[in-house]
Amino acid sequence: MVTFLILLFVLVLIAYNFLRHPKFGKKPSGERLALIQKSPQYKNGKFENQNFTPDLAEGANYFSVSYEFFFKKVERKIPADLIPSIKTNLHEIPVNQDVLAWFGHSSYFIQLEGKRFLIDPVFSGNASPISGTTKAFKGTDVYTVDDLPEIDYLLITHDHYDHLDYETILKLKAKTRKVITALGVGSHFEFWGFEKENIIEKDWYEKIELDENLILHTTPSRHFSGRSFTRCNTLWTSFVLETNDFKIYLGGDSGYDSHFAEIGQKFGPFDIALIDNGQYNKNWKYIHNMPEDVIKAMHDLKAKRVFPVHSSKFALALHAWDEPLKKVTELNRLHEKPLPLITPLIGEIVELKNEKQEFKQWWNGVN
């Protein structure tokens, strides 16, 4: 009995010390919490979606979902082959060129109107607080922070590990001018050593005038947040980036809901929409789009071209690694009004204003 109690005490101590690691961030407090409590999205001590959003779909329960997630064998969940990529030298791209480079999953670099944006970068090799778990697919980690030029605006949609990566953020500190994110997420950045005056936190449907011809709007998504056992104490968001002649929707993580049509009505049509398409499951369909939802969302948003993201780097769901791209491509082809899909290789340059640029279905033949 004594041995058991000692062992239990040691395990509790290890867990306690682990959860105190800086990578877990810091929950909002003080003036930041007071501002959060004024948000229309903050109710009953936590942030909520516009409409009721259960953690799991009807008929699902935590035990069965957890068992399936950890023990079910899924064919080709992780690719056997290297994911192909192009290593573009981002330092050599003139700042006046309007381009996008995707790093896999939901990480990408944008140049627009002479400003450089970095969205949800994850370069540490895994999307988990435990090193060596949820590892990036072979061939996807071809970029590091050193490969990036100076960043004007680091945009973070929410604080999950596959979007807010502690190791990457620390390395970015010296080359990032401003951080723009949703309410509460700035608490993590301040805890990690970023200057308070360089952190901008916004609620949904607020705007920031970045330059004379460059505006950023924060817009709703349907998701949740949290880096430890406490959930939804920081907000999640999508972004709309617009100039006088160009609009791009940066979707972040989201399940399907009325907010897509709402954003399309307020800001559309969009020249390009980046939409969450991957790591989905019927059991958590309210927090991640199913492929058929992506098709509905792209039309709700009034998008001219669509970039399906949130795939091809991490295995966070029970589908084959290439299923999201295959399904959305086929569903789009069968739709009465198919839209051009942007499907670049990791590192391939997307010319934002070139509507005639074509992309290969690079995942075909990759096992």
DSSP 261-326: HHHHHHHPPEEEEEEE-SS--GGGTTTS--HHHHHHHHHHTTEEEEEEESBSS---SSS-TTHHHH
* Least confident segment among 12-16, 19-23, 223-227, 278-282: 12-16
Spatial contact of 223 and 163, defined as CB atoms under 8 Å apart: no
The strand pairing partners of 218, in sequence order, are 206, 239
Question: Which pLDDT score, from 0 to 100, does residue 19 have?
Answer: 56
Task: Give the span between the Cα atoms of 203 and 183, in whole angstroms.
Answer: 6
**Structure confidence at residue 266 (pLDDT):** 99
Could you tell me the pLDDT band of residue 310, with boundaries at 50, 70 and 90? very high
pLDDT confidence tier of residue 2, bands split at 50, 70 and 90: very low
The whole-angstrom distance between residue 278's C-alpha and the CA centroid of its chain comes to: 11
pLDDT value for 131? 83
- End-to-end Cα separation, the chain, in angstroms: 51
Residue 3 has pLDDT above 90, yes or no: no
Condensed to tens digits (0 to 9), the pLDDT of residues 34-81 reads 999 999 999 999 999 999 999 999 989 998 899 899 899 999 999 999
**CB-count burial class (<10 Å; 0-12, 13-18, 19+) for 59:** exposed
29-351, superfamily in CATH?
Ribonuclease Z/Hydroxyacylglutathione hydrolase-like (3.60.15.10)
pLDDT digits (tens, 9 = 90+) for 238-272: 999 999 999 999 999 999 999 999 999 999 999 99
pLDDT tens, residue by residue, 192-239: 999 999 999 999 999 999 999 999 999 999 999 999 888 999 999 999
So what's the pLDDT on residue 172? 99
- Percent of the chain residues topping a pLDDT of 70: 95
pLDDT in tens, 86-137: 999 999 999 999 999 999 999 999 999 999 999 999 999 999 999 888 999 9
Per DSSP, the chain holds a count of helices (H) and strands (E) of 8, 15
- pLDDT for 118: 99
Q: pTM here?
A: 0.95
pLDDT at residue 27 tops 90: yes
